[in-house]
A and B are shown apart, each in its own frame.
Chain A
Amino acid sequence: MLRALWTVSALELRTRLRDGTAIVIAVIVPVTLATLFGLALGGDDPPLKATVGFVDLDGGEFPASVRREVMAAKELKGSVTLRDLPSREQAGRELESGAIGSAIVFPAGFSESVGAGKGGDVAVLKTPESPLAGVVASAIVDRISAVVDARTLAVRAVLRAGVPGDQVKELVERNGAAGPAIGLADDPLAGGKIDLSVYYGSGMAALFAFFVVGASFRGLLTERKLGTLDRIRAAPVAAWVPVAGKAAVGFALAVAGALLNWGASVLIFGSTWGDPAAVTVVLVAHVLAAAAITMLVTSRVRTDAQADGAIMIVSFVAAFFGGSLVPVYNLPGPLQAVALLTPNGWTSKALTELAGSGAGLAAVALPVGVLCAIALTAGGLAVLGFRKGLLL
């Protein structure tokens, strides 16, 4: 019986490779789309490099403290460069020439004003050409504002309590409202931080896996129309041979396609999908689930044209709600829950986990388990459907 299985599989493989559809659907289209999506919508986040002008017209303790903190912040090391500038006008010229991306301007008397509990204004100069530098400068100033507010409040409270003016500074500093402490906390995106090239690469791989395996099952209906399926069934072979022969080829092509998508993503964008073994297991589990679902769809339709339409609808619905086309964290809350009803959602979740954290196989045990369960359930229902039409 294995010989018959091999015979059917060999013909299917040969047919798919000969007409070119396998390579186009499994590799060329998904890699092209993933590349276009990656280039258009992100790819790797550009490296954070910002030169921020620093204009200290105050000359007091507060600006000095801010400079010290920024230079010492680990998160900004190698990313943010402070350039001292003598005046606001100079900062404006430097900004216009592109020499700096933004500037922070401490006005004269700033430290004294804050020390007296009167607060103070720090100016931020930005340009649309350097949005990242603007964001950095604004973030620093936001942090300064918080510290200034806290210090102003503390000073006022101390003064209101009747403490003599010459003792206010000492008292406030002793009680922890001394000066700025610039902190840049890691603030990952909800759902895990992931390179967009990984996201779209895996999304396209997940979507096109449906089409690749679906084409094989659709072929069963074409063969039924052609009469060759009956002819195979009239031969001394088990009833499952035609289905299994085509399924094996569709599965192998879809896995190969997904792996090539992964490779292309690495080559084109230099992205990292995570632990290779775990990524492979996730991709194989996804293809299994996609194969079972398309087999189920095929078992419930009558013609190959119906199969085409049904497989396309199922594939795109699963891709959209499962985050293969739009990142799951960009979807509204209820739709994020719906994502977990699709194999694409679990695949996306698993690959995001792997790419974002560098975790191994254990971290994706649940998604892989769910994908296998989907494969078993859909596959079982498909076999029942096939028994009524294509097997017996």
Chain B
Amino acid sequence: MTTLETASAPATTTTPALACRGLRKRYGDVVAVQDVGFAIAPGQAYGLLGPNGAGKTTTISMLVGLLRPDSGTVLVGGTDLAADPTRAKAKIGYVPQEIALYPELTGRENLRFFGRLFGLPRRRLAARIDEVLDLIGLTDRADTKLGTYSGGMKRRINIGAALLHRPEVLILDEPTVGVDPQSRKAILDGVERLVGEGMALLYTSHYMEEIERVCERAAIIDHGRIIADGTRRELVSLVGTADKVELVLDGDVETAFAKLRAVEGVVEAARTGASSVRLIAEGGRYLLPALITAVEGSATVTATQVIEPDLEATFLHLTGSTLRD
């Protein structure tokens, strides 16, 4: 595991909203999850990244009590999920990956049903449903059947059903799959607001930019194990600090390419077309003037692009680019 010791949960005296340790689950000979552990403080957003089949859903199923781990512990707000599942589950808001709602009921009826399961008294529940409908922007469609909703609206009700009881920790399993940009923005805005209000968040997604936007910390899980865990900066540093620099040249490209390879700081160079080259360079963004100067006399630089290392690069670096499932 490429765990960064410096990237452990921030020092805090408060009880983690969600903590798991040594989680393990196997199906026959296949170990789906092994030694998974992390902690999320109140008001902290934590991302869980992994390719398909990496163990994300199995981990989440154990965290919300749908699956009993072979070993390991889950503490929700300090309550052991195995010892007191009812109390622990009452602190969790779980939003499954699929739209897990009743299409023949209205949005309000769906919210009422799930709110009652969390034991909310009738009057308080009615008021809370109105608040949640307002939060997810569906007040005007609350009394129409879910079957008539768009995909984005269903996604928002799907999230709203997990918010009624004001959970201490919200677990979102790929909440923006298949939604339009407007709904996606609304969902992310809402999630950020909730985190800002002190709710802990566990967020899984295949969209790296969502994790980068919402989560201050993230773990990368593959083959059932957490292989990296830290803040965005810490995770990105795992693939080094080299930038990718792409140049388009006009003139004697061959000679210019040889000169560019010789510039100090350039660790890798490749021709990507008749007039284009790609360089991997430490601090590439600061090296641009030197690169332009180096080709003078042979060619002129007509276009440049600098790509800094990001979470996606880290993810692909750690999990490989081989297709899964």
Contact = CB atoms under 8 A, between A and B. Distances in A.
Interface stretch (B116-124, B135-143, B217-225, B254-262): B116-124
A8 B161 CA distance: 16
B96 interface: yes
A231 B100 contact: yes
A234 interface: yes
A224 to B, nearest CB: 10
A303 to B, nearest CB: 16
Interface in A223-251: 226-228, 230-238
A243 to B, nearest CB: 15
Contact of B116 (A4, A233, A392): A4
A186 to B, nearest CB: 57
A160 interface: no
B83 to A, nearest CB: 14
B65 A234 contact: yes
Contact of B117 (A7, A15, A18): A7
B94 A228 contact: no
Contact of B100 (A4, A228, A237, A392): A228
A230 B60 CA distance: 12
A77 interface: no
Interface in A1-46: 3-4, 7-8, 11, 15, 18-19
Size category of the binding interface on chain B? 20 to 34
A236 B101 contact: no
Interface in B105-161: 113-114, 116-119, 161
A228 B113 CA distance: 11
B161 A18 contact: no
Given A227-B96, A230-B96, A392-B68, A235 B101 contact: no
Nearest to B94: A234
Contacts of B99: 227
Contact of B66 (A7, A11, A226, A230): A230
A7 B121 CA distance: 12
Contacts of B199: none
Given A234-B64, A234-B66, A236-B87, A228 B102 contact: yes
Contacts of A392: 68
B90 A236 contact: yes
Given A228-B100, A230-B96, A237 B68 contact: no
Interface of B: 64-66, 68, 85-87, 89-90, 92, 94, 96, 98-102, 104, 113-114, 116-119, 161
Interface of A: 3-4, 7-8, 11, 15, 18-19, 226-228, 230-238, 392
Given A231-B161, A233-B66, A236-B87, 13 more contacts: A3-B116, A3-B119, A4-B117, A227-B100, A228-B100, A230-B66, A230-B100, A231-B94, A232-B117, A236-B89, A236-B90, A236-B118, A236-B119
